[in-house]
Amino acid sequence: MELIRIPRIMHDTSRGHILHGRSIGFVPTMGALHEGHLSLIKRSKDENDITVVSIFVNPLQFGPSEDFQQYPRDTDGDVAKLRKAEADVLFMPDASQVYPSGFMTHIEVGEISEKLCGAFRPGHFRGVVTIVAKLFNIVKPTRAYFGQKDFQQAAVIRKMVKDLDVPVDVVVSPTIREHDGLAMSSRNLYLNEEERKAACVIYRCLIQTSELLKSGIINKEKLKGFMKEKLSAEPLVREIQYASMYDPETLDEVENAGKEVLLAVSVKIGGTRLIDNMLVKA
Q: Contact residues for ligand PAF (CB under 6 A)?
A: 28-30, 58, 61, 128, 131-132, 150, 153
In the bound complex, what is the minimum distance in angstroms from residue 251's beta carbon to ligand PAF?
17
When the beta carbons of 157 and 198 are compared against ligand PAF, the nearer one is 157
Q: Residue 198: which residues within 8 A CB-CB, separation 6 or more?
A: 234, 235, 236, 237, 269
Q: Under a CB-based contact definition with an 8 Å cutoff, are residues 30 and 55 in contact?
A: yes
Radius of gyration of the chain (CA): 19
Q: Under a CB-based contact definition with an 8 Å cutoff, are residues 242 and 116 in contact?
A: yes
In the bound complex, what is the minimum distance in angstroms from residue 275's beta carbon to ligand PAF?
11
Write down the catalytic residue from 34, 37, 106, 179: 37
β-sheet with 89-91: strand ranges across: 2-4, 89-91, 50-55, 24-29, 143-147, 169-173
As a whole number of angstroms, the distance between CA 100 and CA 102 comes to 6
In the bound complex, what is the minimum distance in angstroms from residue 87's beta carbon to ligand PAF?
15
Q: Under a CB-based contact definition with an 8 Å cutoff, are residues 190 and 198 in contact?
A: no
Q: Is 11 a catalytic residue?
A: no
What are the CA-CA distances from residue 49 to residues 7, 21, 26, 83, 261 (Å)?
A: 21, 9, 11, 16, 35
| Catalytically annotated residues | 37
